[in-house]
Structure 1
């Protein structure tokens, strides 16, 4: 029995093209405005192209802000990845009292908005004298631990136990099995956890805005916010150029990890 494929109509094509143009319009405006030395915020082609808006970026502490964002993003992502890869394995392979309750508790923690933790974290930081310390931001970003643990558990569940049994027969210990077999088999899931946590740390705004008072400690998100009105009225060209610079590192990292991310997202719900 053959299935006839229905050809898309001209109306469908027109609707898809219109949706694509609508989706691309903000990015097109962003690029044009970044190269427009006299940007007014209106959606129009620039009369001339200039790099002056990009040059103005380096008149502020943008490079320091980039470094701070990379430290927060990569540092948080690495800590979360190491902890979740180790902690998720017992949840996948062992049965112990309270296991289901802990997993449901992790799900509930994900439901609670991160803003609910700001006041307790602030009061604790004041008592410990940790204001103006980047480590507080790293601690706040560790709220991604439940997501990483649940995702890595799903990946461990998809790995047949026969792999570990075969490794045990060959004389491999628990750590040897984890490092040589289990962890490599879950590299796609690890990439998803790392990138998701990195993006959260890279875009963190509320915590550093409240906890960090020195401009040299700010990440890019707070730096971009502080740049509003830096050159008189809102300078759309400068902010657009700043936004492009802000988006480049995540795009580069995504392109580097895209294969692992695609397979990781596809296999996140598979359970063996």
Structure 2
């Protein structure tokens, strides 16, 4: 009788899977897939580093040399000594920090106006601002260059820093979406208590928007760090070059010092990776929380 009941229950529910199988299918396999995808993104940086510790003969050897017989750490020493690497790094950090400060000054102000202040023509102005994202830099490059030339700002950092103090459409949109998720009851209560718009913005909106502000600062810093065309156009004095332009020094008219170039490029990339690991939590929150209520 007991065997009959067990058989009937088994035929009704089917074969039960073990919890371990479900755990593997739901957790282990997706993590393995994500790890493999992460390795694909890590592969270019790994190849950059391996190339930087090879000799010139091993870089172009056929068949491919996957790991050098003797690690050429001297490439890093020569890369730093061949160009004023420290000076270029300081120039780059100076431009990146001031660019981030400019975006954090202008973009939240504009985003607050578009998200919290009702005025005639607000939606029209917002769509016009968003339309500027369609224009590539190559379209506005010449007019902006002429403008800075007439202002006698060429061969200085002003053309690289000053535009950030007027905001950017993408960052304004990002912050506007974040500000719209903050409950309006907070600002209405502050207005009833007599708080001004700027006080609401400074003491309520900005403290609650730290993840989005971290995101804007990080993206601005990364853009300024890797910008090549801007410094190439506006900076003529080699002492004012940024790292992205300074790396061109390894590319000669008849020869390219590939080992030194790869070593300098590795040093150029490491600070960005380290910076991301420090602010990744705030960056992910700023991206994921934007647009959700």
TM-score, normalised via structure 2 length: 0.80
> Which residue of the partner structure matches residue 260 of structure 1?
282
Q: Pick one of 53, 60, 70 that aligns with 1:35.
A: 53
Q: Is the 8 A contact 2:107 2:167 kept in 1?
A: no
- Give the stretch that moved more between structures: 162-171 or 102-111: 162-171
* Shift in alpha-carbon separation, 1:132–1:23, aligned structure 2, 3 A: same
Choose 168-177 or 77-86, whichever is displaced more: 168-177
Matched, 1:237 2:250: no
Shift of 1:225: 2.4
Contact 2:148 2:159 in 1 (8 A): yes
Larger Rg: 2
Q: Structure 1 residues 255 and 16 mapped into 2: Cα distance closer, same or farther (>3 Å)?
A: closer
Distance apart, 1:97 and its partner CA: 1.6
2:66 counterpart of 1:44: yes
The structural deviation recorded for 1:179 is 2.6
After superposition, the CA RMSD in angstroms is 2.8
**Structure 1 gap ranges (5+):** none
Contact map agreement 1:137 1:208 (CA 8 A) in 2: yes
1:190 is paired with a residue whose SS is helix
Tell me the alpha carbon deviations over residues 97-124 of structure 1, each in whole angstroms, 9 at most, x when there is no partner.
2111111111111111012111112222
User: What residue number does 1:199 align with?
Assistant: 222
- Equivalences, count: 265
Given the alignment, which residue of 194, 197, 211 partners 2:234?
Answer: 211
| Gap change, CA 1:97 and 1:170, over 3 Å in 2 | closer
Q: Distance in 2 between matches of 1:40 and 1:255?
A: 31
Q: Where do 1:167-186 residues align within 5 Å? A: 167-168=190-191, 172-186=195-209
SS where residue 217 of structure 2 aligns? helix
Deviation at 1:208, TM superposition (A): 1.4
Return 26-35 or 162-171, whichever deviates more: 162-171
Give the whole-Å Cα distance in 2 for the aligned partners of 1:103 and 1:239.
44
Question: C-alpha distance in 2, partners of 1:143/1:182?
Answer: 20
Question: 5+ unaligned residues in a row in structure 2: which ranges?
Answer: 1-16
Judged with a 3 Å threshold, the aligned counterparts in structure 2 of structure 1 residues 83 and 215 are, in CA distance, closer, same or farther, namely same
The answer on whether the counterparts of 2:112 and 2:201 sit within 8 Å (CA) in structure 1 is no
Shift of 1:166: 3.5
Question: What is the CA–CA distance in structure 2 between the aligned matches of 1:225 and 1:144, rounded to whole Å?
Answer: 30
SS at match of 2:70: coil
Please name the residue that 1:248 is paired with: 270
* Contact 1:114 1:143 (8 Å CA) reproduced: no
Question: CA 1:113–1:22 in structure 2 vs 1: closer, same or farther (change >3 Å)?
Answer: same
**Is the partner of 1:159 in helix, strand or coil?**
coil
Residue equivalent to 2:6: none
C-alpha spacing 1:170/1:97, structure 2 compared with 1 (3 Å): closer
| Secondary structure in structure 2 of the residue aligned to 1:129 | coil
Distance 1:251 1:202 in 2: 12
2:100 matched residue in structure 1: 77
Distance 2:276 2:30 in 1: 31
Partners in 1 of 2:278 and 2:32 — Cα distance? Answer: 34
| Corresponding residue for residue 63 of structure 1 | 86
CA drift at 1:190:
0.6
